[in-house]
A and B are shown apart, each in its own frame.
Chain A
Amino acid sequence: MSDQTVCVIIDGQEVRCPAGCTVYEAATTAGIHIPTFCHHPKLVPVGACRQCLVEVEGMRGLQTACTTPVRDNMVVKVHTSPAAVKARKANIEFLLTNHPLDCPVCDKGGECPLQNQAMQDGPGQSRYVEEKRHKNKRYPLSELIVLDQERCVLCWRCIRFLDEWADDHELDLFGRGADTRIDTFPGRPLRSKWQGNTIDICPVGALTSRIFRFEARVWELTNTASVCPLCGVGCNIVLGVKNQKVRRITPRENMEVNDTWICDKGRFAHGFVDHPDRLKTPLIRRNGKLEPATWEEALDLIAARLNAILQEDGPQAMAALGSNQVTNEANYLLQRFMRVVLGTNNVDHIGRIPTGATPLTSLPGLEHRDVIVLLGCDPSTEAPLVELWIKKAVLRHGARVLVANPHQIELCRYGGPWLGYRPGGEVALLNGLVRAVLDVGAKDQAARAANIEESRSWLKAYTPERVEPLCGTPAAALRQAAEVLVQARRPLFLVGPAWTKGSGEQRAFDALANLTLLLNDAETGFVAGDANAWGALQMGVAPHWYPGQQPCQDPEIRNRLSSFWGTKLSPVPGLDWDGMLPACAQGKLKGMWIIGSDPAHRSQTAGEALKRIPFLVVQDLFMTETATLAQVVLPTASFAETEGTLTNLTGRLQMIRPAKRPPGQARPDWWIITELARRMVESKRQKSWDFASAASVFQEIAKVIPGYRGLSYTTLGEAGWQPAPAQVKARRHLVRVEADPPSADPNYPLELVTGRLLYDRGTLLRRASRIQNLVPSPYVIIHPDTANQFGIAHGDPVWLISSQGQLPFTVLVSDEIVAGTVFVPWNVSDPPVGMLVSEPEGLTRVRLAKQE
């Protein structure tokens, strides 16, 4: 569309609209409603259904408003043309002839465009006396969706959505004419993780959710605007609740986040919220058993025990873990409690965003990147909406997607190249790319580095051929990638949590900065997989950082916050998670409070260490493995039951809102922490804890964090608040970063790679019915060379053995993984693959043995 505007006259009304828009769009801007079926504002118009016929002066016959472009001074008649009105009425009549009219039992009832239009324009009485056509009803297309082919009006919006956005061509038209049906390939269910969106855009009740089916009539639902808590994107959603139970989740448009779409995990996995397993009352360990207690008892007990530890062992004997999955308010209060009430900086959370990472600046901005490089990052499983934006860049603008990952991920389908590497080889891989870019690129590339001449000497060692043995990436793939990179106009590097594990944060980012410095207009963004990863960091649940990532070691800042919080803050450096583990093991930590995370599930080491803590308090939704070790377990409210904010992977602050009451005695995190603090400060004359709501907590956060000044729940509103992108100082110098030699251990010759699947058996998803049927049984992917080496074949049952233990898996042999590594999905096996992992988390080496 151009910037020019034109004037058209629609039903006698003058309408100004951009040149090149359609008659339908022009009418919509003027508030003139033109009925449609096949048209959807997010899909390419096809003009198929003929519902939008209008009269245009000077044109023969009637025109489809959805496809006819406006011309200056065009005269259009929508409701004032008898011919057009008759045609639209007739079209509704045509549609209804074979429609089953089973509205009373249809899930779409109440929000059905066909129903509405039949009311508005329908003939009122049917002239159709023939037998209706019979097609498949209640026909499951997958675990999640059921199709009623008789209700379908064949607008093919669903097919077009899956084509134009998801690029998953799994639905199509079959047969022709009156016998046309929507269907999948014979016997093959829909697999797309975007299929749920077709339910929303279906203008009738042809595609319905198997999870929402018969749960409620839509008008019985109370709808609450909220945000999805299942990954770092934070898609905007609506929770539909009836009788204190979440019945369905639908997307809410936010062009800065999720457009109008959500992934199927966000839509269908809400079963955990109302699951009978939810913790409903506080539990106290009595005689070795966890038994129900009142809040009074539980909180009094905790206060007493913490006070006792304070007296006997001092503040440094206590620690806490916040979480990248709970609200900012909870995280903020937790660190405030530890620092202000107990006087320790021993506070951290697991899965902290690596130092040096910067948030992605914009999600819609992804569409305009011509080269997207994924470094140890799999958006399809870790942050699905990111995948959708990447697909938009690929499908609409031909972007290239380069993938550096130990095994092939879904986005490799766009041709890559795939840069398979062994964990630990990150620096080698990047140095190889730097070197290859300098080789294939012209002077432009070299000229960007001020110290190019002296750097050439250390880079000599990183020709693609020399890099190949260091990281396992084929030299040809590196060269191919370099060709793409030197031509990129606006490349974007998306870094995932896996990327910094093998080589360390500093070196991984330094090596990456070397590469981006050589390229045109490059940006790096970290793709956080958890709902509040940035928030947890930002709220200061980190030993070295106060809220707003203000360093604890800065005396000026410490003094300022001391006076703000009304207590003297401890200058003693805190323990991070890696430090807490040995401290537990050595008996130095006497008390610990864990909110919203399950470290015992993640690794053997953590579980062992936590057993040594004399007083462990766990606050969670479910009886997690960690909770079974606790002295006190506190039931908390889920995202659907509390107010608060989450910070997504672009740093955007967004609100979640209570849609229902928590089960039993469960309480929001902010309430629990406040109540405990109140009990403990009475004796200590500290500034009071007078938070009456999550909103009042947020008011304080807005005062403490410099960039948040002036924010409140009101200003966040429905759409949230996006901070200005951080100014990253552009480097001009290449930094010398040398690669590690590949690690080796003859007993454990293989490197273990773990990664998320979209659907797994984690704490929450395990309680989402139907979704569980989509989780594969435990498997390990190995390279054909590895299979040969161990004499193992595809489908064999094997033991995967590390220094920590062994677990059974089924083998999948595939060349879609780099040799020397094996891949196991996280949260699929029971016991969890964490059994094999030791912490502090680095690389885990394993070997295979055939099960006899």
Chain B
Amino acid sequence: MTATSRSQLKCPTCRGPVEAAAGRRTKVFPFCSSRCQLIDLGRWIDEEFRISEPADQAGGGAESVNPGGDRE
């Protein structure tokens, strides 16, 4: 992690600039607006945020496919 200036702070949803003066965060931080925060929440609810890894590394193969369900 290299140090970055505050001006580079970007809203996770729209990539627009986010206001965050040193030590002061807005109510919707780290977003630029409650709108963008809401969209993000919707994406969590839709399970859009995922961490992916190739099937071979996850310890399971193609055999353990169970689309739409949990993997034990």
Q: Do A and B come from one complex?
A: no
